[in-house]
Amino acid sequence: MPFTKKLRGMPQVTRATHTIDATGQVVGRLATRVAGLLIGKHKPGYVPHIDQGDFVKVTNIDKINFTGKKWEQKVHFSTSNRPGGLKRMPVSRLRTVRPGEILHHAVKYMLPKNRTQKARLKRMKIS
């Protein structure tokens, strides 16, 4: 069921919901597909300055794949922005603790770095 929202002075935006099964998919290729849906590039009336992306629900996130040796070598970093506040988490451990964080991180850095990034990420549900 599409969700429609009318903004003052803006055209009417109709948002559909896309459900994607992440079983066996590579993280980067899945993230590219999700980011395109969140931005709205798949719509024929795409305009960069209007946020007209759709809702995206990703299921079976614990069954995603990386290519090569990334499960052993890749590391995610987080920081508290304080001296000595840098934390490292190997992706192999992150897969067992918070598997949705892997895709969330990949999609976040594929979205434009502007004021719409946070609103677009809220439309992505990972389960």
Give the tens place of pLDDT for each residue, 45-57: 898 888 899 999 9
pLDDT tops 90 at residue 25: yes
Whether the predicted pLDDT of 80 surpasses 80? yes
Superfamily of domain 3-126: Ribosomal protein L13 (3.90.1180.10)
Categorize the per-residue pLDDT at 27 as very low, low, confident or very high, splitting at 50, 70 and 90: very high
- Three-class DSSP category at 3: strand
Alpha-carbon torsion (41, 42, 47, 51), positive or negative: negative
- Specify the pTM: 0.87
**Where are the chain's structural domains?**
3-126
Mean pLDDT of 91-112: 95
pLDDT (average), residues 79-101: 95
CA angle centred on 27, ends 22 and 31, rounded to 5°: 85
